[in-house]
Amino acid sequence: MMQRPRAFAIVNPAAGRGRGAAVVRRLGAEFDRVGMTIEVVVTPGPAEAARLAAGAVDEGHTLILAVGGDGTANEVANGMIGSDAALALYPIGSGNDFARSLGYPRGRKRKHVARWLATEARRRTIDVGEVNGRLFLNACGVGIDGDVARRLERNPGLAGSKLGYVAGSLMSVATYRPEPMEVRIDGETLFGRFLAVIASNGKYFGSGMRPAPRARLDDGLLDVTVAGDVSKLGALAALARIYVGKHEDGSTIVTRTAREIDIDLEREMPMELDGEAARAERLAIRVRAGALKVLAAP
């Protein structure tokens, strides 16, 4: 008899406003129906998914399933990077931007993700980004996007939905002003005040925003969006257009590709990576080409 495909599932019980806990109860049966055997573990706390993923790789698992949102996918990837194991997703977060970039089922079709993984998904090799030693899958940046991430972290009621991200963005547009930065993009230096500098690996972040509509996950490059000294009205207009990827204007907001981006700030400022809020006074951003195996749309 042929051996059934196996997967090691790491579940974030808090993902999707608690949906992760309910998923645990049905995950085994759901994958069994599509001919896959699955071992399920629940993360005991924040930052534990990376440790569990690294342990699963060491035990010989070749398919690791991240059950949660973009944050869970990020943690799991950090634990398996550079290995030959493939990352698969069971997206139950509200944004699921990385799953969107990989072509996973969306909307009502999302409930059929187990069948999709078993019958349609294919193994691909993609790039990841790295900022100050931490990996990211979608994007990282500093400026107004970091301010939005900080705002959502402090106001959990806003987090976890597209509407909440828009509300947080509008609040930041009203209060945030461009900051002095020194930005080096593959050796070219830019000085001035910048609303944001965002390095994108995938096309999406922020529950469907498209900061880098031409980004590819496997081209060995990051797409760098640079927003200069944009007025509040200009920032509001860009926010309205970013969901369709039409925010670039060729002058104050531009995007270019790069392998290395270094950003020096005059003071410690909010930043974000895959939606997670952090702070930094300097960002060293690099692309790690072909560093991660995934299951994705053909």
Mind listing the pLDDT tens digit for each residue in 64-85? 999 998 889 999 999 999 899 9
Q: Give the whole-angstrom CA distance, residue 259 versus residue 34.
A: 40
- What are the structural domain ranges in the chain? 6-120, 134-288
55 pLDDT above the threshold of 60: yes
Q: What is the pLDDT of residue 157?
A: 65
Q: How many whole angstroms separate alpha carbon 97 and alpha carbon 137?
A: 10
Contact criterion met (CB below 8 Å) for 83 and 135: no
Residue 160, pLDDT above cutoff 80? no
Q: How far apart are CA 273 and CA 271, in angstroms?
A: 7
CB atoms within 10 A of CB 222: 29
165 DSSP β-pair partners: none
Whole-model pTM: value is 0.91
Tell me how crowded residue 190 is: count the other CB atoms within 10 A of its CB: 14
175: tokens are 């209060």
In this prediction, residue 190 has a pLDDT band, given cuts at 50, 70 and 90, of very high
pLDDT band at 145, cuts 50/70/90? very high
| Identity of the residue numbered 31 | F
**How far apart, in whole angstroms, are the C-alpha atoms of residue 73 and residue 56?**
15
CA–CA distance, 51 with 80 (Å, rounded to integer) = 9
Percent of all residues in the chain with a pLDDT value above 70, rounded to a whole number: 96
Structure tokens belonging to residue 282: 């300097």
pLDDT at 206: 82
Residue 13: pLDDT above 60? yes
Q: Which tokens go with 51?
A: 């440790």
Structure tokens at 294: 């995934």
**Quick one: pLDDT band at residue 114, thresholds 50, 70, 90?**
very high
Q: Are strands 6-11 and 37-42 parallel, antiparallel or unpaired?
A: parallel
Q: Is CATH 3.40.50.720 the classification given to domain 6-120?
A: no
Question: Is a pLDDT exceeding 60 seen at residue 25?
Answer: yes
* Structural contact between residues 275 and 95, judged by C-beta atoms closer than 8 angstroms: yes
Please, are residues 94 and 156 in contact by the beta-carbon 8 Å criterion? no
Q: Does domain 134-288 have CATH number 2.60.200.40?
A: yes
CB of 71 within 8 A of CB of 94?
Answer: no
- The torsion defined by the Cα of 232, 272, 206 and 27, in degrees rounded to 10, comes to -170
Mean pLDDT along residues 162-184: 89
* Cα(148)–Cα(272) distance, integer angstroms: 9
Nearest to 34 by CA among 110, 105, 114: 114
**Residue 165 pLDDT > 70:** yes
Beta-strand ranges (E) seen in the chain are: 6-11, 37-42, 63-68, 86-91, 122-131, 134-136, 139-143, 179-185, 188-194, 196-200, 222-227, 253-258, 260-273, 276-296
**Residue spans of beta strands (DSSP E) within 99-173:** 122-131, 134-136, 139-143
**How far is 36 from 33, CA to CA, in rounded Å?**
7
Q: How far apart are CA 273 and CA 257, in angstroms?
A: 18
What pLDDT was estimated at residue 2? 56
Residue 137: pLDDT band (50, 70, 90) is: very high
